[in-house]
Structure formats: C-alpha cells, structure tokens
Structure 1
Amino acid sequence: MHEFGSPDVLRYEDAPRPDPLDDEVLVHVHAAGVNPVDWRIRQGMQMVSMLPENPFPLILGMDVSGVVEEVGASVTEFETGNAVFGVNGFPELGSYAEYSATSAEQLAPKPKSLDHEEAAGVPVVTQTAWQALFEYTDCTADQRVLIHGAAGGVGHMAVQLAKWKGADVIATASGYSEDYLRKLGVDEFVNYREERFESVIDDVDIVVDTVGGEIPARSVDVLKENGELVSVVGQPSGVLTNNRDIDVQVVSGRSNSPSLLTTISELIDVGEVRPTISAKFPLENAAHAHEVGETEHVQGKLVLSVT
C-alpha cells in the first residue's frame, strides 16, 4: 500500500525481496493470516505513531507460515527448508508477500498436523488468547470464564485454551455461531442479539473481551469479587468497579516468550486446540479479504494463500 485508506489501497505489485538481518530468517511465504489489526493499520487508525515518518510503500501482515529460504548469520535454530510459522514484528510487518524477513525469535516449527494455510491462522490470535488467560490472568480448572466475541479469531482460540485447562466457558456471539461454539466445548451460550448477558450470567472469575465498546463496562456486573477483566482490543472505557476488588488489564498481543509458539504448536499436534479457517483468498485478493473481515461475522480466521 502507498497510502492509508479503504481496502482498495492494497495493491498487488512487484516489490524487492528482503534481505534478512543477522537475527532474521527469510521465509518463502506459503500463507499469511488476516487480522483486524491489519485493516486498522491500513485505515491509519492503529499503531501509526510507531511507523516510520514515511512508511510507504508498506506491506501489511503479521501472521506467516512458510519455508525457510535463507537464515541470518547469527541464526542457529533454523536452516534452509524448515517449515515454520510465526509473527512478523511491528513496524516491519510484511507477510502479505512471497518472501518475508522475520525475527528468528518469533518463529517456531510449523505444527505437523496443519497445512500452511491453517498454520497462518494461528500465531497472533493464539498468542493473544494465551496471554489473556495465562499471563495477564491465571485461568485454572473449575473457574467460570466469559468470552465475548467467542466465535472470532482470538475468541475461538480462547475457548479452546480455557477448556484445555478445565474451565467452565461461557460464550457470547450471534445465534448463527451457537452450534459452532458448542462443538468447541462452550458450557453456556448467550445470543447477544436476543438477551443481555448480564441478565443471565453471574459469578464469573475471568472476562475476556474481544469486542470493546460498552461490553467491558457491562461485564463488571457479572464478575465475582477479585474477578479479572481482560481486554484484547485496547483500553476499555467507562469501566467503573464501584470500589469492588476487580482487576482490569489490556493485552498487548505481542509475546515476549520465544518458546510460546513452540508450546502452541505442540498443543495443536496433540489435538487440544485447532484453528478454524473461515475463508481463504489468493494474495492478489487481499483487498476483498479485508472487506469480508470488516463487514461480516467471521468464524475463526481469514487467510491469504501466497504460494
């Protein structure tokens, strides 16, 4: 892209192949995940202050899955031909391309049970869900965990991770997603279009909010004393704890643990969690993928097929 704006600013054109730095890996990209942060950056609404003064031309994309083409001088954990998946850092980005230079610390061996398109749907949303449940809070068996927007990218992985820990999971989503979420293991379901969750849910230990708006403020009423509210969509507004002992936190979405992706890969390969890929688009149709992501209720993830 050469400017901020609507999806049509995304152009499919030739760009120079990047050269990896000493601590980077050049990945021959097979697939790239599409995340809400991608279109917010495209719109100029998020993280713009972290970009260089003149960031264009800018190649979007954080989630990446592919094969190692070349390794930097100091990289010892990967070699040419390894199948990997991971996260392109910010502000470098760059997975919407045939080749991407990615920090070796943000890569891990691709789960053997997933193809590249499935693997590209994993990194950002699963790391974010993991942080929300196990780093910013401490989700354990028999806790009640309420997940807003449970059918989306972060939400559907949070459901599976919470169930893996033995928690009782309550999901909010549209009625269209009830059967899907029941199959993922949710214990209680609230159709937000038909009823207010705070009217039917209480005694919750952890709330994970992937929606924003008025949802965090309303969620305070369903939390137990010493409950925890975690937002993955930025600082919540209007949250009044009314002198109750409730912890409110915001997840950064960027893990500082190089081993986390490896742990996630292992959980996938033993069948504990699995990404849902709602739709696949060829790289040249990235603009259409953004249109779908911004305007439709997506179950799981959208991905771009690159090679």
Structure 2
Amino acid sequence: MKAVVYKDYTANIEIIDIAKPKLQNKSVLVEVHAASINPIDNILHAGYLKEMLELSFPHIMGYDVSGKVVEVGKDVLNVKVGDEVFARPNQEDAGSIAEFARIQENELAIKPENLSHIEAASVPLAGLTAWQALVTKGNIKQGDKVLIHAGSGGVGTLAIQIAKHFGATVATTTSSKNIELVKSLGADLIIDYTTQSFEDKLSDYDLVFDMIGGDVLAKSFKVLKKGGTLISIKGQDTEDLAKKYGVNFEWFFMSPDGAMLTELVTLISQGTIKTVIDSTYPMEQASEAFGKLAEGRTKGKIVLTIK
C-alpha cells in the first residue's frame, strides 16, 4: 500500500510502498478515505518527544482516520465488512495517512451517513481531546465560566461548542481575523490576543483549557476562582502556581475511546456541534499540508483525502 512516511527524525516527508498492517483478533482493517493532521505529527517528526516515545522507521504519519471496513478480526463483535467507521487509533496502530489502516474495535465509531469522510476524519483526536479536557477532567457543568485558549484551532473550535452544549459561559482567545468564526461557534466573550491580555480581562473562572503552554499557561492561573481547575495538554511543572492560587491543575494525553467518540459524533450528526475544515489536500500533497499546519494559523482542521 502507499503511505506517507518519514525515514528518520526531521527527514523529508515522502510517499512509499509499504506492507499493509496485519489484522489482529479485535481489530478491523480499513480502506482509508480521509485522514486529518494534527500538531502532534509535526512534534514527533521533529524528534521533540523521542526520549518519551521512540518511533520505528519508516514511520507512517497520521492519527485520525475515516474509511470503510474491508477485513474484520475473529473477535470483533459489532462491526462488519462494509461499515464506514472513523477513529483516533492508539500509538501502535497510528499511521492513518495510508491506503489502509488498522483500528481496534473499542477505539472506533460508526460514521453517521450525514457526515462525509472528510468531516469524520477531522473529529477524533481534536474532539476527544476537547471532550476529555472539559468533561472527563474538567467536570464541566451548566453555569460554569470557562476559558478556552486558541479557540479557532482544531481542538478549540470543538471545545467551544462542547462547552456551550453543557451550558457554560465561554470566553476564548483568538486573533482578530478569527473573531467572527469563534462567535459563530458560540463564544460569549472573545479576547484578541494580539491587542488584549486575557489575564487583565477575565476573573473568577471555574475552568481553563490550555493548549499553548508557556506564559499563557502560567498567566491562566490568575483568571481562576479559588478551587477552580486548569486543564492543559502541555506538560509543565506548575505545582507551585496551583498551590499559590489555590486551584487544581492537571495535564493529560488524550486516550482513544470509541464509546466517547460515538457520544460526540451523535451531537455532530444532530447539528448541535459542527466541524470546521480549514482546507483539504490530496495525499500526494501531504508535505505541503504539514507545512501549512506548522504555520499555526489554521481555522479548524486540515484533512488529507486518500481515496
């Protein structure tokens, strides 16, 4: 099968012929129709996480997949050949920018008919990250005041809508050119980070969701009420700050979860939450797509079409 790979850290992205993944008892083999890309792909490619997560080469890129099931493992119970599914596969099964991908049954969701493969592929990693941060870790509830950083990004666009679904008042940070987008997603208060300091504008928040780290993470403690919660996907030692401000802090890695993905996609198929697609590229232009992602200015997700 053809797959988008790199043969070493920082090496050029290329398309090569490589063996299909081997079917396992509790997995399905999917003919890939679309795969979206995420900052983690570029972070791994640059070698920033190699002490924590050593890759084998050639490394197939991609963590989001939507496609059609072509083979089913002998212990798979609820999925059959011909089903259209989507998922964020685990680290071992990751490598979705290819003609075929392997997915464990408990990590996939059935794609609703009213969702295209492009839309479905844009959801798993970003959607599960947002859901787990706000719902699983943040225990979001009606009436909460929530700050979501980077509201126009892949995770942020879904996080704003999830927070609104749970009845929260939502503030978000974005640049001036994306104000209308985040407003259309339901943001109640918008901070233009190019001209305003969110920590001067906001106070007494119940929950902050950070995807940026660094100074933004450090300043986020200031806007929380006592006993509030800061959830971040950027791992940093902030124990002293959490103690100083009397708040809870947790950083986490998203976990694949088919049941949770099904819950999220039900809201999408009903129109409660909408996907935001920045752009699509054919698989042959994967390198250009990752270059655009690295610029950090995308609105929602970039998706690669495979079939």
Letter in 1 for 2:299: Q
Q: Equivalent residues in 2 for 1:1-307 (5 A)?
A: 1-5=6-10, 9-46=12-49, 49-51=52-54, 55-235=56-236, 237=238, 240-241=241-242, 243-255=244-256, 257-307=257-307
Shift of 1:103: 1.0
Aligned-partner Cα distance in 2 for 1:234–1:33:
24
Superimposed CA distance per residue, residues 84-121 of structure 1 (whole angstroms, 9 cap, x where no aligned partner): 00012103311010001111111110132210011100
Letter in 2 for 1:131: Q
Shift of 1:136: 0.7
TM-score, structure 1 as length reference: 0.94
Aligned-partner Cα distance in 1 for 2:265–2:215:
34
Letter in 2 for 1:293: L
Aligned-partner Cα distance in 2 for 1:48–1:56:
16
Indicate conservation of the 8 Å contact 1:150/1:159, yes or no: yes
Superimposed CA distance per residue, residues 142-161 of structure 1 (whole angstroms, 9 cap, x where no aligned partner): 11100011110111110000
Q: Which 10-residue stretch deviates more, 238-247 or 55-64?
A: 238-247
Shift of 1:251: 2.3
**Count of residues in correspondence between the two structures:** 302
Aligned-partner Cα distance in 1 for 2:261–2:50:
23
TM-score, structure 2 as length reference: 0.94
- Secondary structure at the aligned position of 2:48 is classed as coil
Shift of 1:192: 0.5
Given the superposition, is the C-alpha separation of residues 219 and 131 from structure 1 closer, same or farther in structure 2, using an over 3 Å criterion?
A: same
- Secondary structure at the aligned position of 2:17 is classed as coil
Shift of 1:244: 3.3
Aligned-partner Cα distance in 2 for 1:62–1:241:
32
Aligned-partner Cα distance in 2 for 1:48–1:92:
20
Aligned-partner Cα distance in 2 for 1:36–1:241:
27
Indicate conservation of the 8 Å contact 1:147/1:172, yes or no: yes
Given the superposition, is the C-alpha separation of residues 239 and 190 from structure 1 closer, same or farther in structure 2, using an over 3 Å criterion?
A: farther
Aligned-partner Cα distance in 2 for 1:282–1:48:
32
Identity of aligned residues (%): 34
User: Considering only aligned residues, what root-mean-square deviation do their CA atoms show, in Å?
Assistant: 1.5
Letter in 1 for 2:32: V
Indicate conservation of the 8 Å contact 2:170/2:188, yes or no: yes
Aligned-partner Cα distance in 1 for 2:198–2:216:
10
Letter in 1 for 2:8: E
Aligned-partner Cα distance in 1 for 2:148–2:29:
36
Aligned-partner Cα distance in 1 for 2:187–2:208:
14
Indicate conservation of the 8 Å contact 2:140/2:163, yes or no: yes
Letter in 1 for 2:195: E
- Show structure 1 runs of 5+ residues with no match: none
Shift of 1:238: 8.2
Given the superposition, is the C-alpha separation of residues 23 and 37 from structure 1 closer, same or farther in structure 2, using an over 3 Å criterion?
A: same
Letter in 2 for 1:219: S
Aligned-partner Cα distance in 1 for 2:219–2:240:
8
Given the superposition, is the C-alpha separation of residues 242 and 23 from structure 1 closer, same or farther in structure 2, using an over 3 Å criterion?
A: closer
Indicate conservation of the 8 Å contact 1:111/1:268, yes or no: no
- Secondary structure at the aligned position of 1:157 is classed as helix
Given the superposition, is the C-alpha separation of residues 239 and 168 from structure 1 closer, same or farther in structure 2, using an over 3 Å criterion?
A: farther
Aligned-partner Cα distance in 1 for 2:299–2:49:
23
